[in-house]
A and B are shown apart, each in its own frame.
Chain A
Amino acid sequence: SQKIEQNSEALNIQEGKTATLTCNYTNYSPAYLQWYRQDPGRGPVFLLLIRENEKEKRKERLKVTFDTTLKQSLFHITASQPADSATYLCALDGTGGSYIPTFGRGTSLIVHP
């Protein structure tokens, strides 16, 4: 069955550095992949969507890459700030053309001032 893996350990970085989060998947070929941010006790907030035919997508300080050969997406936050501290979830679209995404467990990012 399809599986999504995100680092379960929190990522701790210093303010100003680039944070890089990883999303790996197996047994699956998604048409697109999404990244969301979730703060404690809140619902996820949509950040970026990247399609299978796109290698890279940017939005302000955010950059997402999508390597369908490696079955991996990288999520980068440049010039990170303490306000970027949150859990970041990746989600793959459903199988068989379904639009219902499957979410990873998320990786917690902590940016230290």
Chain B
Amino acid sequence: GAVVSQHPSRVICKSGTSVKIECRSLDFQATTMFWYRQFPKQSLMLMATSNEGSKATYEQGVEKDKFLINHASLTLSTLTVTSAHPEDSSFYICSASSSGQPQHFGDGTRLSIL
């Protein structure tokens, strides 16, 4: 089946650090990649949608300058949390989809900002 690799799986860093998370589709070409944030016992909250070669579309309330998304190829998207603060601590999950197909998720990145 379709495999999406996300890393790192866990990041612990100091406040003010920028953190980059990578999402790769390993065995298929993803026309679209999605970035979600999930708090404990809460639903997945979509942050942004990105299509290869174009700018990401951010959901309302998500700061595009804070969460930089790059979708450089059909198999790779990155999310950079710039100048991270403790309130940015969360579980970040990416997913990838090719046209008309269900999303396939990465295993998430647990981000902890001290």
Contact = CB atoms under 8 A, between A and B. Distances in A.
Interface of A: 4, 8, 34, 36, 41-46, 49, 89, 99-106
A100 B34 contact: yes
A100 B100 CA distance: 10
A44 B107 CA distance: 8
Interface size class of chain B, counting residues whose CB lies under 8 Å from the partner chain = 20 to 34
Given A100-B34, A100-B49, A44 B102 contact: no
A4 B100 CA distance: 22
Given A42-B108, A44-B105, A100-B49, A89 B43 contact: yes
A43 B49 contact: no
A44 B104 CA distance: 8
Contacts of A45: 105
Contacts of B43: 4, 89, 103-106
B110 A46 contact: no
Contacts of A102: 46
Contact of B100 (A36, A89, A99, A104): A99
A101 B100 CA distance: 12
20 contacts: A4-B43, A41-B91, A41-B108, A42-B107, A42-B108, A43-B4, A43-B93, A43-B94, A43-B105, A44-B93, A44-B95, A46-B102, A46-B103, A99-B100, A100-B34, A100-B46, A100-B49, A101-B103, A102-B46, A104-B43
Contacts of A101: 103
A93 to B, nearest CB: 10
A59 B93 CA distance: 26
A29 to B, nearest CB: 19
Nearest to B44: A103
A46 B103 CA distance: 7
Interface in B61-114: 91, 93-95, 97, 100, 102-108, 110
